[in-house]
Amino acid sequence: MTVKATQQSTSTLTPTQRVIARRMTEAQAVPSFTATRDVDVTHLVRERAQVKAAGSRPASLNDVLIRGVARALRQHQRVNGSYDPAGFVVNDDVNVGVAVAADDRLLVPVVKGADRRTLDDIGRETARLADAVRTGTVAAADLSGATFTVSNLGMLGVDSFTAMINVPQAAILAVGRVRRVATFEEGALGVAQVISLTITADHRIVYGADAARFLATVDDELQATSLLAPA
């Protein structure tokens, strides 16, 4: 019996793909852990529908999340830092990287000073950065300086996932899709719309309680956000 060899082809890695592969290998060496929290975004989904019905363009949930994350990072500085054997590095600025996939590559443009920006400003900046990535016109300056990263696969129907840390950052947040869940409060059945937020953190600088408190603060920020009031 003669067995024919399987035909194979190998494509050459682009410089960007080589960098991605190297960074993912580096991330494997980080002693990390994950923690997940479901966040009720019912009011945000409802308010987005109201804004849209009024003829205006509502802020995306991703932009609301970036703003909430940035404000939470200001309160949890180690999550916004990185590990160094000589001592923990704490960043003065809050620069949120946003993972964007395009043309078989993954880039992370950065919303700089995100904790000081309005929701409208964040929306304009994320739209500009995503367009630049997808058209291949993103500047090197837009890809540098991130202190934390948000990766959102919710728009692709993913419920939850674990993201790999963008070394040397201390943590990354993975965002799932909005999904309906049953609730039971004060003797009554109901339906809420929630998203799963999963943090992957470098355990050398961020501990379990740190991650839990950070997720709780992000939740608080989202609950305090209204799309019907000025950002």
- Who contacts 207 (Cβ-Cβ below 8 Å, separation ≥6)? none
Pairing outcome for strands 188-202 and 179-185: antiparallel
In a domain, 16, yes or no: no
Looking at the domain assignment, is residue 4 inside a domain?
Answer: no
- Domain assignment present for residue 28? The answer is no
What are the residues whose beta carbons fall under 8 Å from the beta carbon of 214, sequence distance 6 or more?
72, 73, 76, 79, 171, 199, 206
Report the number of distinct structural domains present in the chain. Answer: 1
In a domain, 10, yes or no: no
CATH (domain of 122): 3.30.559.10
Residues of the chain with pLDDT under 50: none
| Residue 13 covered by a domain | no
Please indicate, yes or no, whether the overall pTM of this predicted structure exceeds 0.85: yes
Q: Is residue 15 part of a domain?
A: no
Q: Is residue 169 part of a domain?
A: yes
Residues listed for the chain? 231
pLDDT value, residue 4: 60
Distance, first Cα to last Cα, the chain = 72
Q: For residue 93, what are the domain limits?
A: 33-224
Q: Does residue 101 form part of some domain?
A: yes
Which position has the token pair 């965002």?
175
pLDDT in tens, 18-77: 877 787 777 777 899 999 999 999 999 999 999 999 999 999 999 999 999 999 999 999
